[in-house]
């Protein structure tokens, strides 16, 4: 797919030192090949290491959000299928997985990690086709991080006693895991790797729009020769997710998605003995002080909000700029925004791909309309969008006030709201003025200021002079309406263990 830009936007990225009207720069299309990828016409549920039809047999169609073309049909699970999957996971936990020594579980996890690396190109292409994210992100961020998670938790599988000294770590049993569509494979890895390392078995429900890499992962599970029932994957609508998490034979629930559904799940499992972690929405503040290196900050701001089309729970969607650098920063930001290439997710030069669904695109448009109606000033680069598919121009709002919906609500799209501040205390006050508390960013050259801000911000993760950095060793999670519990690192392991036994009680 070729994206034609108007002459005034034909500027090479300034970070490449090619800025200026004298350097018009065209990108030839550079689409990633898809001939090495095989997407089946239809996928059954993955239960007990077999792909099986749902009972009664029912399917729904999964599309490519960049073309609106169908990709495959997938099984629509019923309540009876949820029972089958949980039973398979329970039996695998009882008969094999919980009995294996940690070093044996580790071997399987290492094997999965290595297979994922070997098949990384295939996974990256399918992820981009199904989710709409640019191939350079699925190839260079998602899939490498997925493998890293399996390597990391493989390393812990035989060291649980060292991870939690004076305890007797025991697996919980069956984990029910419901994941969203913005990082389909990465969220799968965040959920499955620690669960398996800790000796649990899982039933995972991917989002209905993005199940394909989960089913590709099911193939890896078979290739790695995991005992049947250790990993089960079922597809179906939200109600099936609810059937799964409330199933009486489930011991642990892990959910990533919207705050609204997170609250419903919290209410539904309240009073049961299920362990619960919730990773929900966000409205992160990215705060730029006047002593920050501006060019570096610009790249961080761009990465913070336009990475993955802004469909990121920890996206830096509220930019706070110290008043004294407001004008130069906005000028640079607009210039940089105009260099972003929007279009075919499979093109290696694409920066901003397709929004995941028509519904999400409508939500982004509705919130952008509200920003205009409430009096904020909109800036969008003059790029052309493909005729088909769910695309949205990278968008910048200035003149935003704290009460605007675009400053309060999670947009989950490529839309940045810019606000200003004068003092660090004002920045803290405004940054914390949100029901969410997932992440934040601070840009300054002063170490002492970083420490002050990090401690004052009510956010689970705070990045300093960078943004959207992820590492399997580092815990991730929120405060307030962004959820509770941590994923990643040793904290993420603890969430899948019963630590009530031992001297440390
Ligand atoms: P949801 O929270 O509805 O979806 C996330 C996952 O939960 C999907 O697997 C979904 O299944 C499942 N689900 C939906 N309803 C239920 C339910 N009642 N019980 C159990 N599971 C359920 O997010 P949306 O896709 O509707 O997105 C809406 C908004 O949520 C976005 O605009 C964004 O603001 C936010 N969001 C935040 C995410 C984050 O990472 N924090 C991720 C995704 C969205 P199915 O796909 O079949 O509906």
> Given 122, 127, 279, 481, which residue is catalytic?
279
Backbone torsions φ then ψ of 470, nearest 5 degrees: -125, 145
Give the start-end residues of each E strand in 349-404: 377-379, 395-398
* 279 noted as active-site residue: yes
Mutate-to-test residue for ligand 1 from 241, 257, 368, highest number of ligand atoms within 8 A of CB: 257
- pLDDT score for 262: 97
Q: Which two tokens stand for residue 375?
A: 């009096």
pTM equals 0.94
From the list 53, 86, 74, the residue with the least C-alpha distance to 176 is: 86
Lowest mean pLDDT among 18-27, 188-197, 470-479: 18-27
Nearest-CA residue for atom 8 of ligand 1: 207
> Given 32, 313, 314, 410, which residue is catalytic?
313
**How far is the C-alpha of 366 from the C-alpha of 206, rounded, in Å?**
26
Q: Which helix (H) or strand (E) holds 285?
A: strand 285-288
Rounded to an integer, the average pLDDT of 419-432 is 97
Lowest mean pLDDT among 90-104, 238-252, 489-503: 489-503
Nearest-CA residue for atom 16 of ligand 1: 238
379 has a pLDDT exceeding 50: yes
Task: Measure 120 CA to ligand 1 centroid, in angstroms.
Answer: 26
Atom of ligand 1 nearest to the CA of 205: 9
- pLDDT score for 15: 47
Q: 3-state class of 428 per DSSP?
A: helix
Beta-ladder partners of 45 = 52
3 has a pLDDT exceeding 50: no
20 has a pLDDT exceeding 70: no
Nearest-CA residue for atom 36 of ligand 1: 258
- pLDDT score for 213: 98
Tell me the helix, strand and coil percentages in the chain, rounded to 5: 40, 20, 40
Rounded to an integer, the average pLDDT of 182-208 is 98
5 has a pLDDT exceeding 70: no
CA angle 354, 137, 476 (to 5 degrees): 105
- pLDDT score for 501: 83
* Distance, C-alpha 227 to centroid of its chain: 28
* 91 noted as active-site residue: no
Torsion-angle region of 49 (φ positive above 0: left; ψ -120 to 50: alpha; else: beta): left
Q: Which two tokens stand for residue 215?
A: 């089913």
What is the pairing mode between strands 231-233 and 318-322? unpaired
**How far is the C-alpha of 327 from the C-alpha of 139, rounded, in Å?**
36
Q: Which two tokens stand for residue 140?
A: 């260079």
Task: Measure 209 CA to ligand 1 centroid, in angstroms.
Answer: 10
Mutate-to-test residue for ligand 1 from 45, 131, 238, highest number of ligand atoms within 8 A of CB: 238
Rounded to an integer, the average pLDDT of 245-261 is 98
pLDDT band at 7 (very low <50, low <70, confident <90, very high): very low
pLDDT band at 9 (very low <50, low <70, confident <90, very high): very low
- pLDDT score for 17: 44
CA angle 176, 181, 184 (to 5 degrees): 70
Whole-number percent of the chain with pLDDT over 70: 94
pLDDT band at 12 (very low <50, low <70, confident <90, very high): very low
Atom of ligand 1 nearest to the CA of 411: 34
Query: Considering the chain, what is the average pLDDT of its residues?
Result: 94
pLDDT band at 24 (very low <50, low <70, confident <90, very high): low
Q: List residues near ligand 1 (CB under 6 A).
A: 178-182, 205, 207-208, 237-238, 241-242, 256-258, 261, 264-265, 280-281, 313, 360, 363, 410, 412
The per-residue b/e assignment along 269-302, b for 16 or more CB within 10 angstroms, e otherwise, is: beeeebbbbbbbbbbbbbbbbbebebeebbbbbb
Task: Measure 281 CA to ligand 1 centroid, in angstroms.
Answer: 10
Task: Measure 258 CA to ligand 1 centroid, in angstroms.
Answer: 5
Task: Measure 363 CA to ligand 1 centroid, in angstroms.
Answer: 13
Task: Measure 397 CA to ligand 1 centroid, in angstroms.
Answer: 26
Q: 3-state class of 282 per DSSP?
A: coil
pLDDT band at 295 (very low <50, low <70, confident <90, very high): very high
Mutate-to-test residue for ligand 1 from 45, 209, 256, 261, highest number of ligand atoms within 8 A of CB: 261
Rounded to an integer, the average pLDDT of 442-469 is 97
- pLDDT score for 26: 74
Rounded to an integer, the average pLDDT of 326-343 is 97
- pLDDT score for 345: 98
113 has a pLDDT exceeding 80: yes
């Amino acid at each position: 797919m070729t994206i034609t830009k108007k002459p005034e936007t034909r500027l090479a990225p300034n970070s490449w030192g090619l800025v200026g009207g004298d350097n018009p720069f065209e990108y030839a299309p550079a689409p990633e090949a898809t001939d090495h990828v095989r997407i089946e016409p239809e996928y059954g549920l993955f239960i007990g290491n077999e792909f099986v039809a749902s009972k009664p047999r029912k399917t729904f169609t999964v599309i490519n959000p960049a073309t609106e073309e169908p990709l495959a049909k997938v099984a629509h699970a019923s309540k009876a299928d949820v029972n089958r999957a949980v039973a398979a996971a329970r039996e695998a936990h009882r008969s094999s997985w919980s009995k294996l020594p940690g070093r044996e579980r580790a071997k399987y996890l290492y094997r999965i990690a290595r297979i994922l690396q070997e098949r990384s190109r295939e996974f990256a292409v399918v992820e981009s086709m199904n989710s709409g994210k640019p191939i350079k992100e699925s190839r260079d961020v998602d899939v490498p991080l997925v493998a890293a998670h399996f390597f990391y938790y493989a390393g812990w599988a035989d060291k649980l006693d060292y991870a939690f000294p004076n305890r007797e770590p025991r697996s919980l049993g069956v984990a029910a895991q419901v994941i969203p569509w913005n990082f389909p494979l990465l969220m799968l890895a965040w959920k499955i790797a620690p669960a398996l390392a800790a000796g649990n078995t899982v039933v995972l429900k991917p989002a209905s729009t993005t199940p394909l890499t989960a089913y590709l992962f099911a193939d890896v599970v078979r290739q790695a020769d995991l005992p049947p029932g250790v990993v089960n994957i079922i597809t179906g609508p939200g109600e099936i997710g609810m059937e799964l998490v409330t199933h009486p034979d489930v011991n642990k629930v892990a959910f990533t998605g919207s705050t609204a559904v997170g609250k419903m799940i919290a209410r539904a499992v309240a009073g049961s003995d299920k362990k619960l972690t919730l990773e929900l929405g966000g409205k992160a503040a990215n705060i730029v002080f006047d002593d920050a290196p501006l060019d570096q900050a610009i790249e961080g701001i761009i990465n913070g909000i336009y990475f993955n089309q802004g469909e990121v729970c920890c996206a830096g969607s509220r930019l706070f700029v110290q008043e004294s650098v407001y004008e130069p920063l906005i000028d640079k930001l607009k210039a940089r925004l105009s260099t972003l290439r929007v279009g075919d997710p499979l093109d290696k030069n694409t920066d901003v791909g397709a929004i995941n669904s028509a519904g999400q695109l409508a939500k982004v448009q509705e919130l952008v309309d509200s920003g205009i109606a409430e009096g904020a000033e909109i800036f969008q680069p003059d790029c052309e969008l493909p005729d088909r598919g769910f695309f949205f121009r990278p968008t910048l709002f200035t003149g935003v006030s704290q009460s605007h919906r675009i400053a309060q609500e999670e947009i989950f799209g490529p839309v940045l709201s810019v606000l200003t501040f004068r003092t660090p205390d004002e920045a803290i006050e405004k940054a914390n003025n949100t029901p969410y508390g997932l992440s934040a960013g601070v840009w300054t050259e002063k170490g002492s200021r970083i420490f002050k801000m990090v401690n004052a911000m009510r956010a689970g993760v705070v990045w300093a002079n960078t943004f959207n950095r992820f590492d399997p060793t580092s815990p991730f999670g929120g405060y307030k309406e962004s959820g509770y519990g941590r994923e990643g690192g040793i904290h993420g392991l603890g969430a899948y263990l019963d630590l009530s036994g031992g001297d440390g009680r």
